[in-house]
Chains A and B, each alone.
Chain A
Amino acid sequence: MSWHKVWLIARREFWFNLRRRSFLASMFLFPVLFIGILVLGGALGSSSASDISSYTAVGLVDESGVVVRADGTPYLAEMPEPFRLYPAEIDAQRAFEAGELDGYYVLRADFLKTLKPEAYYRRDRVFGEALTRHLVREVLKPSVAAQVGDPNLAARLESPLGNQKLYRFGNPQPLSREALLAVVFAPILVSSLMFIMTMNVSQFLMTGLAEEKENRMMELFITSARPSEMLWGKLIGLGALSLLQIAVWIGIGIVFAATQGTDVLGTLASYQLDAGFLLVVAIYTMLGYALYGAIMAAIGASVNTDQEARQIAALVSIVGSLPLLFLVSFLLDPNGGAALVLSLLPFTSPSGMPLRMAVANVPSEHVLLGILLQVVTISAVMWLAAKIFRLGMLNYGKRLSLGELWRALREGRQQIISARQTEEAL
């Protein structure tokens, strides 16, 4: 195989597809749309989640003794807005019926057992989550704290483990709790990344192959390069393009986060992700991409329409995500049978091995065995894909049947296309 030709094809695929309007649109419009939805959703969500300005007066009746002492005086010197304290439910009810209140809460005598306040309100002034949270934060908690008497004790009751610190062995810097989550979620992110990459690339591949098929270009190419060179060139070029797209998305995300006051890079640095782990994740991601990319290319060459190809591509991608379906097995028994098999099997190891490594110490021979199995499988799949690719791409305007694929592989040469053409011609 000539790697110079692979490079030429990869470079061409990269630059050609980079200039496609559809690609540019997806690269820049997608994050803009995503951020737009995020901002809009956030704005709507936050306004509905925390906005209580529409309530002018809300009654509160305490029969439980949480807010009011036995002598009827409240624990709080001043009742926060918009709450008005009533000694009995009948008083609140009258005020409500007189239109002085938007509604009222009643803390029944068994409130400390049920922890459920009763709420009475008009249909046009529903008591939402925001108002209930306001009640808890501004009235109930301060009242309990006032009963305890010691503000520190009250704070510790609320968060008993508040100040503990976590350290990674050998590193004096404390580790944030999010960092632990990040290690577990890294494989999930990798799987998602691989899913996006394979779906992205399969989309580019389908479009490109459909164009080459439609334009009858395969005979021209096949007398200039090997099918395997074309396949590798396309996968490398389009993979690089997909990485660029993801990098642009991440870049836009970081800039957006910075405008919101979040230091993403600083947060990531605080996670202290292990370099060896990241290296293994990178290797498995690349190998997984090569494996699934080759499968996608074979699918793209075998079918006629984008739609068909994407349906099959989605099914294939599910196989790659299997370890995520077995997440619980990985978390509970990372060196058990299911996790072991899924982390070594070439079709699932791209996400399985990083997931296993995130939650347990995996013997290095397992990691190497997984890589070896991947390389062997990729070689076999590439060989197979190149044959299917060659056969499918010469088979203009027709879908390959399984019988034809089998015959082509058995004979080691693509002959069906010519057979068909000859039969038609004769």
Chain B
Amino acid sequence: MITIDVQNVAKRYGQKVAVDDVSFEVRRGEIFSLLGPNGAGKTTIIRMILDIIKPDSGRIEVFGAPFSEATKQRIGYLPEERGLYKNVPLVELLSYLGTLKGMKRREAEQRAAQLLNELDLGAYKKGKVRELSRGMSQKVQFAATIIHRPELLIIDEPFAGLDPVNTEIIKNTIFRLRSEGATVVMSIHEMHQVEEMADRLLMIHQGRRVLYGEVDEVRQRYAENAVIVSGQGDWAALRGVTRVQPDETGRNITLYLDEQTTPEQIMAALASDPSYTVRSFARAVPRLNDIFIRVAGGEAKIAASALDAAEVRP
């Protein structure tokens, strides 16, 4: 079941190409991550999905149909440019925004109070945004986004400016919404959060799609022929190891292998040789952050053409 279907969408502003022939789908009930460096075109794509701006060409469908006023009620949007009325009590503020999304007033008030409790803001129900810290305001903004229990949640940088405790609260709420059936699209910079949270991702660079697919599959695709071990022994003496690279702590060692050697062969060699003591062993999969830097930093064109040729779209 497809929640968002974007096909061959393009957007130009004068001579500038903001989005260039981008296609992707967001499936119902998944957490979908939109990645890209600043100015890549992520916010333009989000605004086109939300019908704030129109694409020059291509087609966008949300919930199986072009965007309409009725679609608005089913979407919760946390914009990158955040803001709320500063002088209005929180429950009143949230319930007003809830009623604009089609909720009954009493229902919206109850839901607002419940959300504030869940987000650890129960003590501030009668407080105003101007009395809150930046992190707290951000949580109120998040509450405003989900107060009407949207089927589709589009959140732009949800963790920006949050401390680890509040990040965890928001993250858990997103997981809970997903488990309740909501689809989540998040534009995000924190790569480790993408690895931890997202089912699939789309990376945009200079308006073009450069990475798209399951998060694990993308990481595997960029994996080098290497393993990470910890323990003791003469790692360089192993057959097939071309380079030994300890990390900053010195405890984890990356062993780069030649083309003929597989990780399984290395594991078998270590198991059969008593001069090696192995505490941990894993195949080296690159962090998304490294892939992001590689792709955004120069490999974008290569990756894009390789992806087009391979047609990796699931």
Contacts and interface: CB of A to CB of B under 8 A. Distances in A.
Interface of A: 2, 5, 8-9, 12, 16, 211-212, 214-217, 219-226, 394, 396, 413-415, 418-419, 421-426
A419 B84 CA distance: 25
30 contacts: A2-B69, A9-B100, A12-B96, A16-B88, A211-B85, A212-B85, A215-B84, A217-B83, A217-B84, A217-B85, A219-B77, A220-B79, A220-B83, A220-B84, A220-B97, A223-B72, A223-B77, A224-B100, A224-B101, A226-B69, A394-B52, A414-B52, A418-B18, A418-B43, A418-B53, A422-B44, A425-B38, A426-B16, A426-B18, A426-B39
B164 to A, nearest CB: 25
Contacts of B41: 422
Q: Which 3 A-B pairs have the closest CB atoms?
A: A425-B39, A216-B83, A215-B83
Interface residues of B, number: 32
Interface string B83-124: 111101000000011011100000000000000000000000
Given A223-B72, A223-B75, A224-B72, A419 B14 contact: yes
A221 B77 CA distance: 10
Given A217-B85, A413-B53, A423 B16 contact: yes
A101 B92 CA distance: 76
B77 A220 contact: yes
A216 B79 contact: yes
Contacts of A225: 72, 100
A223 B69 CA distance: 9
Contacts of B82: 216
B50 interface: yes
Nearest to B105: A8
Nearest to A233: B100
A212 B82 CA distance: 11
A9 B96 CA distance: 9
A425 B75 CA distance: 27
Given A216-B83, A224-B100, A418-B47, A423 B13 contact: yes
Interface of B: 13-14, 16, 18, 38-39, 41, 43-44, 47, 50, 52-54, 69, 72, 75, 77, 79, 81-86, 88, 96-97, 99-101, 144
A425 B19 CA distance: 13
Given A418-B18, A422-B13, A216 B39 contact: no
A215 B18 contact: no
Nearest to A219: B79
Nearest to A12: B96
A418 B16 contact: no
A223 B50 contact: yes
Contact of A419 (B13, B38, B101): B13
Contacts of A394: 52
Contact of B96 (A8, A215, A222, A418): A8
A12 B75 CA distance: 22
Contacts of B75: 223
Nearest to A414: B53
A209 to B, nearest CB: 12
A377 B82 CA distance: 36
A217 B83 CA distance: 5
B13 A223 contact: no
Contacts of A226: 69
Contacts of A215: 83-86
A390 B44 CA distance: 17
Nearest to A411: B54
A423 B97 CA distance: 32
A396 B79 CA distance: 14
A422 B84 contact: no
Nearest to A222: B52
Contacts of A424: 39
A421 B43 contact: yes
A419 B83 contact: no
The winner among A214, A216, A424 for most chain B CB atoms within 10 A is: A216
Contacts of A212: 83, 85
A99 B16 CA distance: 95
B313 to A, nearest CB: 26
A396 B77 contact: no
Contacts of A426: 16, 18, 39
Given A216-B82, A220-B84, 17 more contacts: A5-B100, A16-B85, A212-B85, A215-B85, A216-B79, A216-B83, A217-B84, A219-B52, A219-B77, A221-B100, A223-B72, A225-B100, A418-B43, A419-B14, A421-B43, A425-B39, A426-B16
Nearest to B54: A413
A257 B82 CA distance: 51
A144 to B, nearest CB: 70
A421 B101 CA distance: 28
Nearest to B37: A425
B9 to A, nearest CB: 14
A417 B13 CA distance: 10
Nearest to A422: B18
A231 to B, nearest CB: 14
Contacts of B54: 413, 415
A16 B85 CA distance: 10
B97 A224 contact: yes
A424 B16 CA distance: 11
Contacts of A421: 43
A2 B50 CA distance: 19
A422 B39 contact: yes
A1 to B, nearest CB: 9
Contacts of A224: 72, 97, 100-101
A32 to B, nearest CB: 25
Nearest to B156: A219
The winner among A212, A215, A224 for most chain B CB atoms within 10 A is: A224
A415 B53 contact: yes
Contacts of A413: 53-54
